Chains A and B, each alone.
Chain A
């Protein structure tokens, strides 16, 4: 862990963009990947989607 934080960080951030923005503001190289749980995490909708495959 110490080695990780003592070397230059290059970050891939998935999901909430706020984490990437904070790192970017501090000058850390960061690549943001837009991601959210399928069907916004709603299990009822996931069941409907399964039915419509």
Chain B
């Protein structure tokens, strides 16, 4: 075996040994090393305000209003362009954020500890579908939900995760692949499993028992008649929200995947991809043996299904850090485990099997944690080898949401996207130096 092949086996072995456990919740400025009051984190590779796409600009605008740095969108745009604020990739801070991926200093974040290799990774709270900050929307409904998430939801689940003493995220992902999830676009099973693990502790929290509090309330009247005109307990609000949002678990899963990807980073001679991320303008990758260097090119527009009233003409190019899931062998790479996903992103169940089968062509291992029952429990294709991508002419397959290209609107669909081949060629050229 060549030194490169050995290094790649080592990188993937480290990824698979990583044991990410959700241990805590904290405020970004207090818990993410290097986070500061004038810093916003965002998805994807580095980008300046003037090159940011509509949804990323929208999320920055919303973040500035949320942080009290601007009273409206016009003022927020001036503040963002003034140079007083710094913007940096979540990945530079061991964090990840879906879609725009904006993490502001006051936001609460999941804290995932790697119990095998040490260290922590982070992600923010998931807001649900449709008109949400991560898709670039920032009206009062979006901002009120963010306040509820940070001031009620996060404190309740923080207290609960302390009581349960941590939740093993790798175990949840592995089980969910046996229940029809890809753990990227379809998270019905991961969220159900997470609720099952934490619900008894949520109802035991002191915060959860409160019914009268000054913090913003969540309107549960659309969940059940029972809640109409009633002040529910915080625990009921939290559990109802978790149940209403299949993506509740996504951000914690992404931080867990970041933990696995980090474990495989920094192996000398390895040609395995350890970061894939998009900011809505560029798609970027980083490779295990090439340090912090990004290889970037313009992001493609996803092909998929659109919500009523929207079409491909509304779509922004690919955006978000959620492709960290494919980086460690789930998401689009585990499509064969999730045939029902085609209702959401298009195609047929046979396409889902084709997608997974094709990814074995460009990866170095079958995952020993994550497997697919319908493929005779074969491990998911894991560890993208830059050399194989270029040699085979096959790029990774990614499941994704689709954001509107203008700020302030939100999600308009979901589908499949491929990264540009140029970034893998650029990485290959660097590796050959």
Contact = CB atoms under 8 A, between A and B. Distances in A.
Interface of A: 36, 38-40, 45, 48-49, 51-53
Interface in B416-432: 421, 425, 428-429, 431-432
Interface of B: 2, 4, 271, 387, 390-393, 421, 425, 428-429, 431-432
B393 A52 contact: no
A9 B399 CA distance: 39
Main secondary structure of the interface of B (DSSP, over half): helix
Given A45-B425, A45-B428, A52-B271, A38 B4 contact: no
Given A51-B432, A52-B271, A45 B390 contact: yes
A50 to B, nearest CB: 9
B4 A53 contact: yes
Nearest to B354: A34
B4 A52 contact: yes
Main secondary structure of the interface of A (DSSP, over half): helix
Contacts of A38: 391-392
8 contacts: A38-B391, A40-B421, A45-B390, A45-B425, A49-B387, A52-B387, A52-B432, A53-B2
Nearest to A51: B432
Contacts of B4: 52-53
B346 to A, nearest CB: 19
A39 to B, nearest CB: 6
Contacts of B393: 36, 39-40
B234 to A, nearest CB: 54
Contacts of B432: 48, 51-52
Contacts of A52: 4, 271, 387, 428, 431-432
Nearest to A38: B391
B429 A48 contact: yes
B131 to A, nearest CB: 40
Given A39-B390, A40-B421, 6 more contacts: A39-B391, A48-B390, A48-B432, A49-B428, A52-B4, A52-B428
A22 to B, nearest CB: 21
Contact of A48 (B2, B392, B428): B428
A4 B4 CA distance: 48
